[in-house]
Amino acid sequence: MPTSARVRYTAPPEGRCPPVVLASEQGTAREQRFVFYDTLEIGRFEATRADAPGVILVDDPTVSFRHCVLTRQPGDRITLRDLSRNGTRVDGRRLVPNVETEIAPGQIIEVAAGRTFVLLGGGSWDAVLAASPGRTAAMPGLTIASVLVGDIRDYTAMVTHAPSLELQRSVGRVFERLAAEVVRCGGTVKEFQGDAIFAFWEGMADGRQAAGACCAALALNALAERLADDRQVWDVPGFRLGMDWAIATGPVAIDSVGRANQRAGLSVVGEAVVRAFGLEKLATKDTGPILVCDATRAMAGDRFAFRNLGEMAAKGFERAEQVFALLGAATASVGTATGQPS
């Protein structure tokens, strides 16, 4: 295998099935290919760490000692699990730690500070040392993210009057489908908070995170409306499913939580998170179901139509700010991105 000062790799013994290939710096003179059969781990190179078959060692302090693992599953499916502090991304979407995510050939895997790998095709990683002799250097903490919150309307009344088991099962089925749609739209589901789903799109310099969140909000709202009429999903007697949505964009700090090699979730902290939850509480029949802050509207550009609702104070904020209703994709019939008739 080719090696460099930054990446070291020892190929595992040949397996019984065709190999899977991961490549870095594809299409350049520095391209490297890493062949594996069952599992492949990406971790941090350290002078005291011995090479191990099937382990890519990256000389970068922002890469965790055990950063992520690719595993060949039955049916030649490939899954990726993030174990790191600074995160693993697939096509720009940050993965939730310790959750197996299926990936396909051609998808880009990014670890920590920006080293990328692409999946080209089709000893157990648990045997690797469980603890790192050093500590992973934290990456710069802030990114500009678009935070999306969706909340079930009248949930307090449902909890009080609807059968608890039917409500719990219905909410679970709804959130399962909403979470899949968030992933399809390139977002990361941070968590579910009782009657709310909390997702985010990480920062890109060109503002695509805001456009991605707006696309997702429209798709999620349409999906929730369809699910409201599906008795196989929503079956709460006397209560129709309805949801309100809000998007806020701004600096947030994102980090993995949990001990090394046992990351259990994500911490997402910033004013945009609080603002999104506060904006959602302002939604009414008059405003429409999807509200966004001014920063989101500005970054989303002219791809969407908005209606200016004027200055409103989100719950938890004393100062009123411009709030917009997201109407849909920008078309001549809907209006411009400011919500004015065209």
Q: What are 274-320's pLDDT values in tens digits?
A: 999 999 999 999 999 999 999 999 999 789 999 999 999 888 787 88
302 SS3 class: helix
- As a whole number, mean pLDDT of residues 83-100 equals 90
Euclidean distance between the first and final Cα of the chain, in Å?
A: 60
Helix/strand number for the chain, H first, E second: 5, 20
Domains (range + CATH), the chain: 7-127 (2.60.200.20), 142-329 (3.30.70.1230)
pLDDT at position 202: 87
Rounded Cα gap, residues 60 and 112, in angstroms: 9
Rounded Cα gap, residues 283 and 141, in angstroms: 31
Residue scoring higher pLDDT (237 or 130): 237
Residue 335: pLDDT band with limits 50, 70, 90? very low
The shares of helix, strand and coil residues in the chain, as percent rounded to the nearest 5, are 20, 35, 45
Helices 164-184, 208-227: axis angle to 10 degrees equals 140
C-alpha dist (Å) from residue 50 to 10, 34, 57, 161, 166: 10, 18, 10, 61, 54
pLDDT at position 243: 97
Rounded Cα gap, residues 165 and 70, in angstroms: 37
* Residue 291 near residue 283, CB atoms below 8 Å: yes
pLDDT at position 136: 58
Is it the case that residue 337 has pLDDT exceeding 60? no
- As a whole number, mean pLDDT of residues 201-227 equals 91
Cite the beta strand spans of 153-233 per DSSP E.
188-193, 196-201
